[in-house]
Amino acid sequence: MKGDRQVQELIPVILKDGTIHHVPQGSTLGDVAAGLSRRLAKEAVVARVNGDLKDLASQVRPEDKVEFLTFEDEDGRTVYRHTSAHILAQAVKRLFPEAKLTIGPAIEEGFYYDFDSPEAFTTEDLARVEEEIKKIIKADYPVVRQEVTHEEAIEFFNKQDEPYKVKLIEELPPEAQVTLYSQGEFTDLCLGPHLPRTGMVGVVKLLSVAGAYWRGSEKNKMLQRIYGISFPKQKDLDEYLKRIEEAKRRDHRKLGQELDLFGIADEGPGFPFFYPKGMIIRTELENFWRDVHRRWGYKEIKSPIILNRSLWERSGHWDHYKENMYFLKIDEEDYAVKPMNCPGAILYYKTRLHSYRELPLRLAELGLVHRHERSGVLHGLLRVRCFTQDDAHIFMLPEQITDEIINVINLIDYFYRTFGFTYRVELSTKPENAMGSDEIWELATSSLVKALEKKGIPYQVNEGDGAFYGPKIDFHLQDSLGRNWQCGTIQLDFVMPENFDLTYIGEDGSRHRPVMIHRVAFGSIERFLGILTEHYAGAFPAWLAPVQVKVISVASRHVPYVLDVARQLEERGIRVEVDDENERVGYKIRQGELEKVPYLLVIGDQEVDSRTVRVRKRGEGDTGPARLDEFIRKLQQEIEQKLCI
C-alpha cells in the first residue's frame, strides 16, 4: 500500500525536448536533475521553469516545463558568476568588516562587487581576498533563499549596518516580499537565482580594483569596484588569462599611440583626434563605404550638426533621449547638437513630394553626432562623445519591407566578410518607453522576423531592447580573440513617418504613408576602427595600412636606387616610406616590423645591379628577390581584392 501511495504521488514534469518525466511530489529541481543523470546532477547550475530562472532548491509543480542549464549556457554562466560575486563580498566582509556592501552583478566578462570601504584596496589585498574565497568555496556552504517582509529586511540590514542595502529596500513597494540569500555567516539582498552551494564554484581570479560611483552618478559617492572572473576548471581560467594578456597587447589605445594613429587629449575627454596615419585608415574605410553604397543604390547626403529644439521634440528625442544630448541657444531659441542623423534625413525627404515610383529611396550619410557619455564609461575609440555614424535611412512602400531588409542584411554581411569577421544576430523588441501603438510594433517586429527567416539566419530575441521608435536587428561581430562587439543594426520604423507626416503619391493618385528603415553597417567609424585595430593587432591588411611599403637601404650608396623604387611605387598609387638612415640594416628591418608595415623592400648591391628588390612580407620574413613591376602588380591585386592577410 505504501508503494501505491508513492506512485499516486508522482507528478509530471515536461522536459526541454517535450518528454514527460514523473517525479515524487515535493521534489526539487535538483532532485529532478539527479533523477535524469548523474552528470546533469553535477553540472546543472540553475533551471528555466516555464521561461523563468529558478534555484535548483525550488520545488517543481505538476506540468512545469523544465530546462536545466550548465556553465556552458549564457544564463547558466550568469548565475554561476553572480554567486561568485556573493562569495567575493563574503570574503571582503571577513577581511574588512567596516566595508559596506552595495551591489555585485555578473557581467559579460565575469562579475564585480562595489564596496564603500574606508580602506583603499591594494593588489596585496586582492591576493588576501582570493585566499579567503578559496576557504569559502572549500567550506561548501549551502546557498539558502529566504523571503521576508519589507520591514523585516530593513530591520535586518540596519542591524548589519548596511545603509546601501537599506536604501535599495526602501525603493521597493512596502508590500513587496524581499528576497535574501545566505551562505555561512553572510547574507545579501538579491533576487537570485543562485548556485545551490558555494563549493560548486571551481576557481576565482580577482582581476582589478577601480573606482565607481554609487548608481553610476557623478553626484554620488565614489566606491571601490573589485572585478573578478570564475570558471569550473583551472584550465579554463588559464586560457582566459592568456586571452586577457593578448587583449592587452592588442589594446587599441596602446597601439594607437605606438603606431601614431589616434589619441585623446586631456582637453577633450571623449573627443578623439585622428593623426595623419590614422586619417589614412579612416579615409580608406570611408572610400570603401561610399563605393559599396553607390553599388547598392544609395544616394549620399549631409545634414547639419545643430538643429532647432522643435525638430527634436517632434522626433521624440527631446522626451526619450534628452539626458544624452548637448544644447545651446541661438537667437534666444533652443537648439541641440544632433545625437542621431535620422531627423536630418527626414527633413531632406520632406523637401519635395515623392511618387511611389521613386521608392525605395535609400539615403546614406556619414554624419557626425554628439552624445553625452559619463566620464567613467569613456574608453578610447570604443566609447566616445562624438563619432561618425555610417547611417542610412530608407523610405519605402509597405510591400517593399521584406526585400529591403534582406538587401540591408546582404550589404552588412558583405561589409563584415571583407574584414574577416563572423557575427551573430539579435532581434530586439519593444521597450517600455516606446512610441507608437502595439499594433504598429507587432507589424514591425513580424516584418523583421519574416526577413530573418527568409534569409535562414538564426537569431536570439532580446526582449525590450528595441529603439523607442521601432524594433531592430543587431549584428554582433566576433573578433580574432573571440570577443563580441555590437556594430551593425537595422531598425524598422512606422512611428517617425507618422510624427513627421511623411507621404508619397501612390498608384491611385492619393497620399500614402511610407515606412522607414534606420541602419548602420560599421556602427561608427571611430568604434569600428578601434575594433579593427585590436582585431588585426595593428597589423592592418595592405589596403588599409597607412604605409603599405617601406624601402630600406643597406648602405648610403644604395640610396639613389631606393629613391627611384619609392618614386615608382608612389606613381602607381602605393603608400610608401623610405628608410635611408645611417643605421644597420637589421635595425631598420626591425623598425619596419615594429611599425607593422606589410612589405619591406631591402636594397643592397645585388638589388642595384639586377634592378630588383628583396621582399620581406609581414609575418613571413624574407621571400626572396623580385622584379619591381611584378611586385607592384601583385600588391595592387592584393589591395584591389581587399585581402585580409
Active-site amino acid positions: 342, 371, 389, 391, 393, 472, 518
Instruction: For residue 599, give Cα distances in angstroms to 259, 529, 593, 621.
Output: 16, 22, 9, 9
DSSP state string for 282-332: HHHHHHHHHHHHHHTT-EE----SEEEHHHHHHHTHHHHSGGG-EEEEETT
Going by C-alpha positions, the residue among 534, 477, 481, 525 that lies closest to residue 259 is 534
The β-bridge partners of 627 are 612
Identify any residues that bridge with 13 across adjacent strands, giving them in sequence order: 21, 64
Contact between residue 249 and residue 255 where contact means Cβ atoms under 8 Å apart:
no
What's the CA gap between 301 and 446, in Å, rounded? 30
Give the residue carrying C-alpha cell 525536448: 17
Task: Name every residue whose Cβ is closer than 8 Å to that of residue 445 and which is 6 or more positions away in sequence.
Answer: 427, 429, 430, 471
Q: Which three cell numbers stand for residue 618?
A: 609581414
Helix (H, G, I), strand (E, B) or coil at 427: strand
DSSP string, 79-142: HHHHHHHHHHHHHHHHH-TTPEE----EETTEEEEEEE-SSPP-HHHHHHHHHHHHHHHHHT-B
Distance CA 481, CA 486 (A): 15
Report the candidate in 269, 515, 537 with the shortest Cα–Cα distance to residue 384: 269
* Rounded Cα gap, residues 425 and 506, in angstroms: 34
User: DSSP class of residue 355?
Assistant: B
Q: Cα–Cα distance between 626 and 452 in angstroms, integer?
A: 49
**If you search the block for the grid coordinates 585622428, which residue do you land on?**
274
DSSP-derived 3-state class of residue 156: helix
CA distance 496 to 346: 8
Round to whole Å and give the CA distance between 367 and 305: 8
Query: If we measure between CA atoms, which residue out of 400, 448, 394, 401 comes closest to residue 426?
Result: 448
N-to-C CA span, the chain: 75
470: DSSP letter? B
Cell of 453: 527567416
